């Protein structure tokens, strides 16, 4: 196996993926860089299932001997809201609604809720389908809580309202390298790197 094609068009994700999975003799491409266009319906009920759906859809469209394909799915689980928005994180309140509004709405739904009940986590699942048809999936999480107001300019999505106890700030207030060190995606990618060893 000397090539990985990752089912994302997101350049920030690709940078992190390359940083963590790169090794000599291994080429890592995004779907776009590999010239593949796929519209995949993510209708799974878990992050793992969605990552698998995407990875298998991509694997089907690639018949190259030494190529593995990978896909990720991620989102925010808020315990007090029965783990909402969960697999609907990107679609919560509609894809076109700004995160400023989504974040305000989530804070509003937690009005009056004490800190110990505001626990939340980012989750990332990464699925791989190998050239021999076998597959695996890894999961990484970062635990935190939902703050009382958005803060920070870094990151994206729900970062401004997701606070990490250890640093007493939101993940949007952490420098990107530090967030990658702690992040759900970083952890799932490092777990995948272990699975790739020796393949």
Query: Of the two residues 34 and 120, which places its CB atom closer to ligand IMP in the complex?
Result: 120
In degrees and rounded to multiples of 5, residue 106 shows phi and psi of: -65, -40
Q: How far apart are alpha carbons 143 and 85 in whole angstroms?
A: 15
CB of 159 to ligand IMP, least distance (A): 4
Report the sign of the C-alpha dihedral through residues 14, 75, 144, 142, in that order.
negative
Q: How far apart are alpha carbons 23 and 1 in whole angstroms?
A: 12
Nearest in space to 128 (alpha carbons), one of 117, 115, 139: 139
Nearest in space to 182 (alpha carbons), one of 195, 170, 197, 194: 170
Query: Of the two residues 1 and 180, which places its CB atom closer to ligand IMP in the complex?
Result: 180
The footprint of ligand IMP (CB under 6 A) covers: 72-76, 89-90, 122, 155-159, 183
Catalytic residue from among 73, 79, 96, 159: 73
Query: Of the two residues 28 and 51, which places its CB atom closer to ligand IMP in the complex?
Result: 51
Per DSSP, 89 falls in state T
Q: Which residue is nearest to ligand IMP (CB)?
A: 157
Given a contact cutoff of 8 angstroms between Cβ atoms, the answer to whether 22 and 28 are in contact is yes
Query: Of the two residues 68 and 73, which places its CB atom closer to ligand IMP in the complex?
Result: 73
In degrees to the nearest 10, what's the CA dihedral of 177, 53, 138, 63?
Answer: -90
Q: Is 73 a catalytic residue?
A: yes
Structure token pair of residue 9: 């068009």
């Amino acid at each position: 196996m000397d090539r990985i094609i990752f089912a994302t068009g997101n350049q920030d994700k690709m940078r992190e993926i390359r940083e963590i999975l790169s090794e000599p003799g291994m080429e890592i491409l995004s779907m776009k860089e590999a010239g593949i266009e796929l519209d995949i319906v993510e209708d799974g009920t878990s992050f793992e299932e969605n990552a698998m759906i995407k990875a298998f859809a991509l694997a089907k469209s690639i018949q190259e001997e030494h190529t593995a394909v990978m896909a990720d799915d991620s989102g925010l689980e808020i315990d007090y809201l029965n783990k909402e928005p969960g697999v609907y994180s990107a679609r919560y309140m509609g894809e076109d609604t700004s995160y400023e509004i989504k974040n305000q709405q989530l804070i509003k739904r937690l009005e009056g809720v004490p800190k110990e009940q505001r626990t939340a986590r980012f989750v990332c699942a990464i699925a791989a389908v190998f050239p021999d048809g076998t597959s695996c999936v890894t999961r990484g999480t970062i635990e935190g809580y939902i703050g009382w107001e958005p803060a920070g300019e870094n990151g994206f999505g729900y970062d401004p309202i997701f606070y990490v106890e250890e640093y007493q700030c939101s993940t949007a207030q952490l420098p990107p390298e530090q967030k990658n060190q702690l992040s759900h995606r970083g952890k799932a990618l490092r777990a995948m790197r272990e699975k790739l060893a020796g393949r």
